[in-house]
Structure 1
């Protein structure tokens, strides 16, 4: 064992409670109180608290499985887990006109410095995939030419079988910041087929013609050919917002993150009357999750319900 690791282990042994101590709920409650705080002592976010509490719960369950503890001590503590907001904020959703204006604005980001082919123009088609095909950013980053069917006319389709989420390189097997993984919420060998409108087909065909593809077929890459980093495309997106939106809109939650383009796509499909199972299949959601997350983004439902109630009252 390396010396620095050995010192860390010795410190952990002296600073940690024994397994016997963990049977006492008085010793466990301070842990729950601690995970509800940030490093600066302020209250942590609800999602952070729930995630940390889940990790602690699984840790105790593993100890019970190994018969190191007779039962999970968290089950004996009355500690309220904060509620989290699962629904999408409708204020982040752009309409089709705003989405197209943002895509146009992207082509101007970095234009002066790059002789008309700046970072924004290189990445515009990637953002278009998030809007027109509801791809997650990690799915768009890893999209390959062989995943796309792009006919000269009419609708095409994208067949996804992997994504490239960005993680700390210390936690990947390859040492890269983007690890090749399967699709979110799906089995390792599952695929997702997404029909794409002619507008996106045209954008992708033009992108391939202008920028080509990486040796592994990736459509989107950095200027050096690497995987596009989240810091890079987020910076480009923020610049595009300032070009396409009014100052009041820039200060608002409207399309604050690239991920909000996916929210806009799913909301558009639902509001357009596409059946929920079909929307869920294209977006890679379960139907129950889809309706719960996007419940507030389905426009026009209040008026419909109000009219139905009025009809009953006057019947």
Structure 2
């Protein structure tokens, strides 16, 4: 696996403010910031270039509770002033441009279409303002290669900025299971509930894989107030996955129609089994619990204590 050097600069000196992101040798440039800093954001030189952009806000009904709009413009500054008047839901913007103005309108049009298509297929955010996927612009074979290489860098940068709308998971188990970076496939089986789920670690996310069998309904009830709140959260997550088609219910069983990311194995396990779950113990691969796999590199022999000197001191 090849590493990637991404240079982040916190313009305001603190997380959550205006941030720039660059990759060594890449012609692209990413500028991100909150809506509260829009005036300063649009005063920057990068805001007067051609490019594509993402507007991000909240949507409790989407998988990642994110609403997104993807657009293209010849001048971010002018376009965003229009959005500021017409779109009041977004609270964060990401502007993607080229430092050398090496892309023309056709390049950016192609990239916009690709971004919208990927975001739709990822199904991690809602895109109510992108009613139709833009048509791909006609580019030469060489130009398409350039844009796709540019897009590969965007895929790597956006998650570092906390933007996951383009992020997709790959379900197949890796062929090289000896690679210490790659995760094996973990299984969680509860025969009496018809649960037979599979998952992998991808990046910092625990991804339950398409085809997994989970409970068709989440009906557990907790006794304490803290437990009830936790159960309400699991129930809501399960219901959201059913509502958007990520889980198709067939009788008492639910079947995942796509790979679904979770923040932890315990949350994934709870949604799958319909009850609280210690994911570090319940998910297993080749008989090894997830927690043991996670700590596999920590299991080193400790030096034995020195023997006491005969007779003492």
TM-score by length of 2: 0.24
- Larger strand share, 1 or 2: 2
- Larger helix share, 1 or 2: 1
- Larger relative contact order, structure 1 or 2 (CA cutoff 8 Å, min sep 6): 1
